């Protein structure tokens, strides 16, 4: 999948790549003219007895070569290297788009640091491979081909073969070391991912770390990861650092052979002094790209290792798949669940067992139960965060699997237990960055979630910037802003998943009263641990160990004297 995205990008930009490569070839050809012109100039000085006119002509040629090289290089670098930068942005956007589509299960298995490494280091390594490294490879190969042809054709083929004897050895060394670099770079990326993950965890958990005085221990743990990264980088550098010295050693042998044989040919008159100088110029031109091939091999091996890592991510398909001929009609709010059982992927534990429910449009369902009883799992299935067996969950009489995912989820307003706020203004957090809502609607939603007065007491009111995950406000304020975000959407189905746990009972009662008034003809599901949050619901279900243990109204459940009654009694006693 990752390679397919890369191929598609190259196809989409084939014209700019073609023009860039054409100018790259032209640059190499123009550069290869310089040694020949220089050699001719030397021969003119020797043969013509300092004929200044011919010398000036050749100097003009050299200036033209320099200008032509500058102009063509400018064009191809802007096209080819520029496309490398565009590829970097394109890959990062595609990766981000792909990550948005992946299921919750994927994020349960992969750490944030790993994903950051993919989006930054791996994408950059691919860009280096298909930008600068590709350009240097093509440019270097063309220069080498033209130089070798010129050396053999116009000067002396025997001297050319003798001087280039060490080149096959150079390529063997580059390929061998390149493989080692590729494997070691993969370890560098893994080390970077571990460090990114540790930094991210420490920043998010800084309050806990400080409260438990764990700064020194965390520093030691970070130092271990840092040492591992240093070692993996040094191992990679140790391998790649062999390349340039070995290549230069081989070329030193070439130059020695060239000086011995070439100078002898000049003395015998087999070649002129200018041709010998031109030959050395070509040999120098060959040396530069071949020496750079050592660095290029390192970059390419890094890029291919990163491309393989990205390919692994792109090859992961979303677990939640949409079928064909999906329903487009809007959801009104009635819910029916028939004999629903559920087990999390790669787990044998049954989380929900034989759930049967019916919620009419405009009704409120309260769900209560012990921690870990399956309450949140049930609403996650309504949102299709996990796959639901066909024929188990229906919205407006239509199987949940027959709705488009965006249509389905857009019909819900969901306030999860772990409410998330962005590092942005309160206004944008309530709007969820949508321009469709006016400031009056934002204020109205804030009033109904009982956060309006708290916001107005802030220095910048609705423009107050929140810290990461809302770190600069209280837990109750976070919950109420999250509720305002759901209310402004005015969804057909509102789900509050323990979204009132951090507010006091008086504020809780006000919010519930406002919600009841606002949502007279719309369905609501309220999950809570406190009886006070669900006691006014049209129906209450008590879930225990994945099963519906009791159901009824508040008074009916109290009269049964079961688990609901026990929870009510304990909470009344604690109060």
Based on the domain organization, do 345 and 309 belong to the same domain? no
Res 45: pLDDT: 65
Range of the domain at 462: 335-574
Q: What is the mean pLDDT of residues 221-231?
A: 83
Q: What is the mean pLDDT of residues 173-183?
A: 75
Based on the domain organization, do 404 and 298 belong to the same domain? no
Q: Give the tens place of pLDDT for each residue, 260-274.
A: 777 777 777 777 777
Q: Are 139 and 288 a contacting pair, CB within 8 Å? A: no
Distance CA 190, CA 182 (A): 13
The answer to whether residue 182 scores a pLDDT higher than 80 is no
In this structure, what CATH number is given to the domain that contains residue 107?
1.20.1560.10
Based on the domain organization, do 263 and 293 belong to the same domain? yes
The answer to whether residue 549 scores a pLDDT higher than 60 is yes
Closest CA to 398 of 333, 473, 456, 341: 333
Based on the domain organization, do 209 and 250 belong to the same domain? yes
Q: Give the pLDDT band of residue 294 (cuts 50, 70, 90).
A: low
Number of domains in the chain: 2
Res 365: pLDDT: 92
CA 54, 55, 58, 60 dihedral sign is negative
Q: Are 412 and 387 a contacting pair, CB within 8 Å? A: no
Helices (H), 411-448: 426-431, 439-448
439 occurs within a structural domain = yes
Please report, rounded to a whole number, the percentage of residues in the chain having pLDDT higher than 90: 4
Res 235: pLDDT: 81
Q: What is the mean pLDDT of residues 444-472?
A: 84
Based on the domain organization, do 238 and 289 belong to the same domain? yes
The answer to whether residue 575 scores a pLDDT higher than 50 is no
320 occurs within a structural domain = no
In this structure, what CATH number is given to the domain that contains residue 366?
3.40.50.300
Based on the domain organization, do 464 and 556 belong to the same domain? yes
Secondary structure percentages of the chain, helix, strand, coil, to 5? 65, 10, 20
User: How much is the pTM?
Assistant: 0.71
The CA radius of gyration of the chain, in Å to the nearest whole number, is 35
Res 158: pLDDT: 74
Q: What is the mean pLDDT of residues 276-284?
A: 75
């Amino acid at each position: 999948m990752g390679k397919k995205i890369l191929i598609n990008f190259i196809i989409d930009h084939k014209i700019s790549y073609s023009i860039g490569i054409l100018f790259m070839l032209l640059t190499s050809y123009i550069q290869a003219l310089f040694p020949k012109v220089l050699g001719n100039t030397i021969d003119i000085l020797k043969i013509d007895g300092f004929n200044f006119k011919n010398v000036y002509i050749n100097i003009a040629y050299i200036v033209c070569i320099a200008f032509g090289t500058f102009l063509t290089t400018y064009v191809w670098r802007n096209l080819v290297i520029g496309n490398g930068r565009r590829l970097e942005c394109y890959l990062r956007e595609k990766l981000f788009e792909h990550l948005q589509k992946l299921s919750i299960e994927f994020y349960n298995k992969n750490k944030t640091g790993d994903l950051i490494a993919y989006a930054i280091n791996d994408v950059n390594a691919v860009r280096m491979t298909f930008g600068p490294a590709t350009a240097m490879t093509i440019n270097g190969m063309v220069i080498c081909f033209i130089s070798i042809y010129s050396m053999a054709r116009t000067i002396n083929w025997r001297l050319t073969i003798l001087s280039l004897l060490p080149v096959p050895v150079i390529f063997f060394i580059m390929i061998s070391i390149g493989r080692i670099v590729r494997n070691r770079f993969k370890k560098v990326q893994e080390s970077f991912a571990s460090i990114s993950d540790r930094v991210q965890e420490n920043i998010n958990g800084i309050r806990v770390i400080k409260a438990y005085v764990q700064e020194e221990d965390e520093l030691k743990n970070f130092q271990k990861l840092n040492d591992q990264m240093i070692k993996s980088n040094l191992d990679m550098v140790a391998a790649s650092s062999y390349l340039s010295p070995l290549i230069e050693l081989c070329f030193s042998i070439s130059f020695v052979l060239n000086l011995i044989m070439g100078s002898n040919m000049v003395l015998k008159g087999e070649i002129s002094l200018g041709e010998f100088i031109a030959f050395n110029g070509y040999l120098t031109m060959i040396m530069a790209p071949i020496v750079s091939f050592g660095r290029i091999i390192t970059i390419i091996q890094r890029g291919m290792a990163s491309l393989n890592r990205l390919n692994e991510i792109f090859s992961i398909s979303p677990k939640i798949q949409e079928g064909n001929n999906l329903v487009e009609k809007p959801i009104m709010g009635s819910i029916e669940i028939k004999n629903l059982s559920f087990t999390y992927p790669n787990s044998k534990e049954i989380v929900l067992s034989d759930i049967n429910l019916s919620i009419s449009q405009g009704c409120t369902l309260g769900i209560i139960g012990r921690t870990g009883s399956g309450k949140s799992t049930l609403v996650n299935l309504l949102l299709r965060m996990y796959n639901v067996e066909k024929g188990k969950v229906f919205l407006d009489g239509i199987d949940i699997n027959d709705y488009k995912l965006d249509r389905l989820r857009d019909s819900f307003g969901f306030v999860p237990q772990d409410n998330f706020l962005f590092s942005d203004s309160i206004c944008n957090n309530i709007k969820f960055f949508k321009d469709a809502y006016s400031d009056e609607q934002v204020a109205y939603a804030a009033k109904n979630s009982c956060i309006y007065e708290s916001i107005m007491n802030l220095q910048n009111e609705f423009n107050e910037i929140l810290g990461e995950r809302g770190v600069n406000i209280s837990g109750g304020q976070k919950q109420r802003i999250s509720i305002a975000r759901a209310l402004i959407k005015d969804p057909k189905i509102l789900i509050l998943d323990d979204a009132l746990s951090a507010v006091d009972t008086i504020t809780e009662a006000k919010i519930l009263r406002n919600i009841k008034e606002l949502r007279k003809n719309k369905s609501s599901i309220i999950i809570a641990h406190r009886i006070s949050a669900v006691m006014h619901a049209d129906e209450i279900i008590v879930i225990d160990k994945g099963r519906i243990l009791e159901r009824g109204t508040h008074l009916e459940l109290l009269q049964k004297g079961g688990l609901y009654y026990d929870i009510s009694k304990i909470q009344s006693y604690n109060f």
